Each structure stands twice: as C-alpha cells, then as structure tokens.
Amino acid sequence: MITLSVIKADTGGFVGHSAVHPRLMAEARREIERAKSSGLLIDGHVESCGDDISLIMTHTYGQEAGLIHSFAWDTFQATTHLAKELGLYGAGQDLLSDAFSGNLRGMGPGYAELEFEERPSEPVLCFLADKTEPGAWNLPLYRMFADPSNTSGLVIDEKMHAGFAFEVYDLHEDRRIVFDCPADLYDMLMYIGAPARYVIHGVRSKTLGMTAAATSTQRLSLIAGRYVGKDDPVMIVRCQSGLPAVGEALEPFAFAYSVAGCMRGSHHAPLMPVATGQAHPSRFDGPPRVVALGFQIKDGKLIGPRDMFDDPAFDGARRQAVEVMDYLRRHGPFEPHRLPLEDLEYTTMTSLTKRLAHRWTPITTEVATPVGG
C-alpha cells in the first residue's frame, strides 16, 4: 500500500501574506531530500500557493503516521526559524503548539492523505488553495463526483454509474455522516451548501470500493479559539479508470465560484485557478488562488508535476474572477462581500459585542415627537 500525504503550513509570508520566500522553499526541499535519502519517504515534492508551503510525499506508513507528521512538523519548525531570521510576516502562525504530540491533528498544519493500492496507471491531482477555507472544495467535489452535467462518466461509465459515497464533517459539532449518492444527493446538498460548517472530507467509489478523494478539514480558528489566518486547504483527487477523468476533475474550476476568505479571512471572493507562477494573491489579499499539480505515481515515485492550470482554457475563469472581484469590492464593508456576522466570531465581533452591550436598549412602541411638532 502506498500513502500520499499532502501537508501544508504558513510559516511566514513574503511580502505580507502574498508568497513564500525562496529560502524557505529551499530549506523545505533540503529536508525532503534528506527524508528520501534516509528511506523515510519514497518520494517528495515541495510547492507553494500564496504564503503556504505544501509537502507532497509518498511513503508506506499509512495515514496519520507519527513518523511522517513529525517530519513535516520539524520541517515547518525549520522554515519558521528561518522566517524569523528574515523578519517574514506571521512567522510560524500555523503552528499552534510548542511541541509535537503524536500527529498533527489539532496542531495547526493542514493535511490530506490517501492510502491505496497503486493501479497500473495512477493519475493523481493535488489541489492547493490560498486565502480560503476547507469548505471551498465542496462545490467542485460535488460536481466531480455527483453532477452528470460536469462528469459525463456518471452516465456513460458503468464503473461510475452506481455513484459515490461522500463523508461529510460537521466542524462545529465534531461529528460526521456518510451520504450515499445519488440517492442522498438532495439531502447532502442541504448541508454542503453551507461550507463554513459542513465540509466534504472524503469521497469513495461504491463500485470499486476505493477512496477517490481526500481533503484537509482543519479550521484554525476553531482550533485556536481566535482568528490566526485562513485555513488554505489542500485536496487529493485520484482520476481515470472508474473515477472522474482528469478533465472532469478540473472542469469545476473553469467557473470562478465564490468562497470565504480573502482579506483578513472575512470576505467572499472568487476562487481563481492559476499556474503556480501566479499563485501569489496581492489585491485585497485576493482573489483567492487554487493550483492543480498533476502526477503519475509509479512504484511510489511522483512522476511530475504537471502544472494543470497553466492552460489558456482557464483564461475565462481568470477574467471572470477579476470581474467578480471588482463587483464585490464595491460593496466595501457590507454583505455579501463581507462575511455574515456569525462567521466573524473570531475577529473583532466578540469584543465589540461586549464593549457595546450596555448601549443597546429595548425597542419601545413610543413614537418620537417630530421636531417642531
């Protein structure tokens, strides 16, 4: 069995929240090479999206493996140390603990992992996003695995026709449910249409009995109890041979759909699919970005990556993102650009509510006397 782990963290922004400094990337790559040489990893690749470093790794230790998570933690500690030397912004902001404790759950870094028997041809897409939250994957996963207008294989591929099972997390109540689609599709949409709370964690083929997709579901504000930056999720999608084709898995991103995040993690903005060289949001910390790295996995080796959004076919989505960003920015501090108050719990809203509590008074039925009346 091969395990593919994608583990990410923001350990310091260059400049502001826009990018990762080249020296941090070089440090992470050195650590990956050491881990390969020692036999800990079969293979590894380092990539960035915005101010996040992502470690894409193959190994044989399974999901939630302490050795792998400890390696990622130590790597992020090393890049944090360097970020502090360089005076980078928010150095180590995703590392919410002082010491590693078994695995990364609840410690800040986000991760998505899949363990699988390698097929003769194993095409995999690794999606990395910046300036948004884990629920940003809900819409594309629905379209990839449950919407025949996006994925024709749901209709014409007999291995896909039975549908897929979606594991959904309730991040507020720390519970999960599995929806059997297409039978449960309308029920599922009621929940995943609220991506701030309900997040698709994984998708499994009912016919093949294999996991097809996995996402990171860590919410930093829910872990820390305060706003410490947006979650910047990652996602793994296996493709072909009874699963969505590569083109079907990429198709949802031809639409610059709205996600939560952007400036101070407190605004709706369009998600822009970009090549890795353009994954550096700057205008109002946006628009939020997503990159797609394509690999063929053979004997655990990562053959690639291919920069899948480095394609003029996505120029329309990029133009649309710019237009939608212009439209939303004109709203200033008003909804629907700004998030609703219940999603601003970990910003100034809590302290503001306490500070102004004594100034709120009951609404009475008494009519004020007009001036001069």
Percent helix, percent strand, percent coil in the chain, to nearest 5:
30, 30, 40
8 assigned to active site: no
pLDDT bucket at 370, cuts 50 / 70 / 90? low
Distance, in Å, from the CA atom of 179 to the CA atom of 170, rounded to the nearest integer, reads 13
Helix residue spans in 157-270 (DSSP H): 185-192, 220-224, 246-250
Q: Give domain 1-116's CATH number out of 3.40.50, 2.60.40, 3.30.1360, 3.30.70.
A: 3.30.70
Give the global pTM: 0.94
Told to judge if 230 belongs to the known catalytic residues of this protein, a careful annotator would answer: yes
Q: pLDDT tens digit string along 315-363?
A: 999 999 999 999 999 999 999 999 998 887 556 777 888 899 999 999 9
Angle between the 185-192 and 138-146 helix axes, to the nearest 10 degrees?
170
Residues making up the annotated binding site for Mg(2+) are 10, 17, 51-52, 93, 130, 230-232
Tell me how many degrees the CA angle 348-129-62 measures, rounded to the nearest 5: 110
Of 79-88, 145-154, 212-221, the range with the lowest mean pLDDT is 212-221
Residue-averaged pLDDT of the chain: 93
Percentage of the chain beyond pLDDT 70 is 94
Give the residues across from 43 on adjacent strands.
58
For the chain, give every domain's residue range: 1-116, 119-353
Cα–Cα distance, 353 to 25 (Å, whole number)? 41
Query: Of 94, 142, 230, 343, which one is the catalytic site residue?
Result: 230
In tens, the pLDDT along 230-282 reads 579 999 999 999 999 999 999 999 999 999 999 998 999 999 999 999 999 99
Catalytic residue among 36, 61, 157, 227: 227
**Which residues are part of a known binding site?**
10, 17, 51-52, 89, 93, 102-103, 130-131, 230-232, 240-241, 264, 285, 346
Confirm whether 10 is a catalytic residue: yes
Point out the annotated binding site for dihydroxyacetone phosphate. Answer: 17, 131, 264, 285
Reply yes or no: is the peptide bond before residue 15 cis, omega within 30 of 0: yes
pLDDT for 78 equals 97
Question: CA-CA distances (angstroms) from residue 296 to 125, 300, 309?
Answer: 9, 9, 17
Selected catalytic residue, list 8, 10, 142, 343: 10
Q: Rounded CA gap, 39 and 359, in Å?
A: 64
